[in-house]
Amino acid sequence: MEQEMTYKKAIEEIEAIVKSLEDNKMDIDVLGERVKRAAELIEFCKSKLHDTEEEVEKVLKSMEE
Distance CA(62)–CA(16), nearest Å, equals: 39
How confident is the model over 46-61, as pLDDT tens digits?
Answer: 999 999 999 999 999 9
Nearest to 21 by CA among 11, 32, 10, 8: 32
Task: Decide if pLDDT at 7 tops 60.
Answer: yes
Task: Please give the pLDDT value at position 3.
Answer: 73
Distance CA(44)–CA(5), nearest Å, equals: 9
Q: Is residue 37 within 8 Å of residue 17, measured between CB atoms?
A: yes
Confidence at 1, pLDDT banded by 50, 70, 90: very low
- The pTM (predicted TM-score) of the whole model is 0.80
How confident is the model over 12-52, as pLDDT tens digits?
Answer: 999 999 999 888 877 888 899 999 999 999 999 999 999 99
In 3-state terms the chain splits into helix, strand, coil percentages (rounded to 5) of 80, 0, 20
Domain boundaries, the chain: 7-64
